[in-house]
Structure 1
């Protein structure tokens, strides 16, 4: 308790007061959000994807999570809303020419700028380091600063030229209110997609049911279609109709009989006289494709024809 050896204890050494609240370093927080993956806590590297809530991930980390959700990983609560790879968008980022990489200050003999980011806005040139608000387009994945979208108002992407709407603008690493707004828009978008998918299924079922109804209740034959048959029968029965009429009736009867013969029985390709020998050799029924017993093997493959 002190007082030994001439030491005098002070009040803060004897009385324990309330603990001081530890303040988070803002620079460290910005670096963690804009330079590291929100799921694996590794440094961001291409390809980089973003979810509908504006969080940044490494694409390989998201794929590993989707392949095995049962594995124990930290920070899995940030990707609960990601159901598949379609729920994330690969970002089209613009490299910062002033970025020298991680090994630029390996010796430690010069000033290291912590706010120097890997990517910049292609329109205004602002660095994507957390000091400025950045957004990405849900349609094409291009990333811009909010200042560029506010000052240069357009309905076409500045980088790739794809059209977009105001609902397609997603804020990256937004505050609590912006995340809640993005989550509400995400739920509305998924509800609309679910309704559209259900209506598409109903339309497909209706189109399938219509041909079945027509098969059960076939339409009566038209009057015009029976006239050539009647004329052909009259021409065959009456020989006094003349040579012109008899030839026309015979040609019409042959035309009518061709589809019936073709549909009645199937002919082998090797029996078709109009086909060439080279064409017939392309099929396995040709004599060149057949093998003798000496050429066959004991083992079995997925197809018995191998040369």
Structure 2
């Protein structure tokens, strides 16, 4: 039961003070950030992508996250800002020639150097292990150290030569202040894209409502296959046919019968320059005129009655 037989309890056994705050191992934290996917917690493997906040992911993990429509997603808060595959950029990483991976420690009797990284900066040669600040360009996806960006100031990428702006530089696994700055840029960028889409919609509606544009680019149903001369002749024929009707109506109302106006003779489709396939649609075509022997009987399939 305790306190019998001359046992004396100590103070730390009777009085419980505040719990000590557990300190996070910095080396383990850096290894988790730079060597493992933020979504799946698996080892990073190509193709590797990064979001607009500077976090590293496996591309297949991001695709699975976007396809998964369930409400409960593991580690979904870390990628809640990713709405489509366009919100991530595939990275162009430079391999470290001194990286051996797990090949040199197959027996487990060798010390793992946590300072050794898989990728390096192609400009300066610094290893991407978290000890140095690294960044990537949102337009081309090239990755290099922040030291290279500061020492070699240029308006084009150091590796591929693509032009970029200060807004395109995104720090990988930055501090809380860096993440807040990148989040503000991301929101401004997406708001600007929405406003541009809204501005394009009224312009498209105005261009569709203009008659000049519709006449210059008619749809497939409004395109006429005939020649312009034939189209004008058809319009003349319609006007001529409507004129006698109006004259007859006026004569009947006044009690006098007017003479029909003489218009141009109607042209038959058989004499026109249309194709034979178009002419065969009408009864005046030669294919529609069949002899009694060729035409079928209404009772039997031939012209002969049995």
| TM-score over 0.5 for the pair | yes
Which has a greater percent of helix? Answer: 1
Moved more, 114-123 or 201-210: 201-210
* SS class of match (1:268): helix
CA deviation profile, 1:151-193 (whole Å, cap 9, x unmatched): 0001111111111111100011111111111011111111111
Provide closer, same or farther for how the CA distance between residues 213 and 150 of structure 1 changes in structure 2, counting only shifts above 3 A.
closer
Partner of 2:130: 130
Cα shift at 1:261:
5.0
- Residue correspondence of structure 1 range 86-125 to structure 2 within 5 A: 86-125=86-125
In structure 2, stretches of 5+ residues that fail to align are 216-270, 281-306
Partner of 1:219: none
Partner of 2:289: none
- Residue correspondence of structure 1 range 181-260 to structure 2 within 5 A: 181-211=181-211, 215=215
CA deviation profile, 1:86-135 (whole Å, cap 9, x unmatched): 00000011111111012321212222101211111100111111111110
- Residue correspondence of structure 1 range 12-31 to structure 2 within 5 A: 12-31=12-31
In structure 1, stretches of 5+ residues that fail to align are 216-259, 272-307
CA deviation profile, 1:15-69 (whole Å, cap 9, x unmatched): 2121111111111111111111111111111111011011111100000011113
CA contact (8 A) 1:52 1:88 kept: yes
RMSD, aligned CA: 2.5
* SS class of match (2:276): coil
CA contact (8 A) 1:45 1:58 kept: yes
TM-score by length of 1: 0.68
* SS class of match (1:117): coil
What CA distance in whole angstroms lies between the structure 1 residues aligned with 2:103 and 2:4?
54
What CA distance in whole angstroms lies between the structure 2 residues aligned with 1:261 and 1:204?
41
CA contact (8 A) 1:2 1:8 kept: no
Partner of 2:75: 75
Matched, 1:62 2:71: no
Out of 267, 273, 295, which is 2:276 matched to? 267
Provide closer, same or farther for how the CA distance between residues 3 and 154 of structure 1 changes in structure 2, counting only shifts above 3 A.
same
Partner of 2:32: 32
CA deviation profile, 1:234-256 (whole Å, cap 9, x unmatched): xxxxxxxxxxxxxxxxxxxxxxx
What CA distance in whole angstroms lies between the structure 1 residues aligned with 2:159 and 2:108?
37
What CA distance in whole angstroms lies between the structure 2 residues aligned with 1:68 and 1:25?
33
What CA distance in whole angstroms lies between the structure 1 residues aligned with 2:198 and 2:275?
43
